[in-house]
Amino acid sequence: MTIQWFPGHMAKARRQVEEKLKLVDFVMELVDARAPLSSQNPMLQQVLQNKTKMIVLMKKDLADQRETDKWIAYFKENSIPAIAVNVNDKADVKHVIQLAKELGQEKQERLLKKGIQPRATRAMIVGIPNVGKSTLINRLANKKVAKTGDIPGITKQQLWIKVKKDFELLDTPGILWPKFEDQTVGYRLAAIGTIKDQLLSLQDITAFVIKYMQEHYPAMLEDRYLVDRDMEDMWEIFVAIGKQRGALESGGQVNFEKVSDIVLRDLRTGRLGKITLEAAEI
């Protein structure tokens, strides 16, 4: 499976990121805590490779805390400061601002040594679609300055946002890369809602989630759907979930599309539990 999805505004956004990098002191890259590496845009990594960067693991309230801790350690081992955030937790938002100020402090000190009056710290905020960027920006600015929604790709232009008096953020549109060579990356991103549902088979995505949970979160799968980790036939699993959750058509047949909707909705809203679909290698 090769997923290709590269709207024109995303190609334009990449060029804008390259052009604006010289205006900022560092980059704040947002990733999804449920798939931190898969939700990093490899195309952006090429653009940002020589720029100071911090990683913000978004939606930590939906992710497995043990895995999130491992991911923070993973990024720090690679000399990238990282922080996990629940945008509805004011303390988490304050920690993001504090880390950002610390990163900007080095640039301010260099300006002072040159006899240049310090200015506000400037950061560029980047991330793939639907990672929660607009919501975080609104929390950082403590007012609604960016559009929010659960539709991938809602931000279409760049925007400067003031955070406190001494911190400015340059917002950019969410950017996906031209295609996913690794189908597992595509499945992870589709499962957490980064890729539009219309682009992939929901049943294939759901089967991927179920298999992963059977291996890593069997108790959650059994508690929610009464599916045993040893059940191997995916058709039988779908039927079992459909009957248990009432995803039936007239005549009592299980509707597999409804089953897929149920499982993915439960995953994305946290009803299945706190789940991370990608393990850190540390």
Together in a domain, 87 and 168: yes
Residue 226: which domain range?
A: 201-269
To which residue do tokens 């960067």 refer? Answer: 53
Together in a domain, 91 and 213: no
Together in a domain, 162 and 264: no
pLDDT tier, 88 (very low <50, low <70, confident <90, very high otherwise): very high
Which CATH number covers residue 51?
A: 3.40.50.300
Together in a domain, 63 and 144: yes
Together in a domain, 19 and 128: yes
Q: Is position 73 within any domain?
A: yes
Instruction: Please say whether the beta carbons of 46 and 21 come within 8 A.
Output: no
Instruction: Please say whether the beta carbons of 80 and 103 come within 8 A.
Output: no
Task: Report the Cα–Cα distance between both ends of the chain, in Å, rounded.
Answer: 28
Q: Is position 72 within any domain?
A: yes
Q: How far apart are CA 44 and CA 70, in angstroms?
A: 23
Res. 69: pLDDT tops 90: yes
Q: Is position 193 within any domain?
A: no
Which CATH number covers residue 228?
A: 1.10.1580.10
The distance of Cα 143 from the centroid of its chain, to the nearest Å, equals: 22
- What is the reported pTM? 0.86
Together in a domain, 37 and 94: yes
Together in a domain, 175 and 207: no
Together in a domain, 130 and 243: no
Q: Using one digit for the tens of pLDDT, what is the confidence trace for 9-41?
A: 566 767 777 888 888 889 999 999 999 999 998
Q: Using one digit for the tens of pLDDT, what is the confidence trace for 165-177?
A: 778 888 877 666 6
To which residue do tokens 């059977």 refer? Answer: 214
CA neighbor of 191 nearest in space, from 275, 88, 100, 68: 275
Together in a domain, 128 and 235: no
Together in a domain, 117 and 213: no
Alpha helix segments (H runs only) across the chain: 8-20, 42-48, 65-77, 90-113, 133-141, 183-191, 202-216, 218-225, 234-245, 256-269
Dihedral angle, C-alpha 235, 252, 242, 206, nearest 10 °: 50
Q: Using one digit for the tens of pLDDT, what is the confidence trace for 186-195?
A: 899 999 998 8
Together in a domain, 208 and 153: no
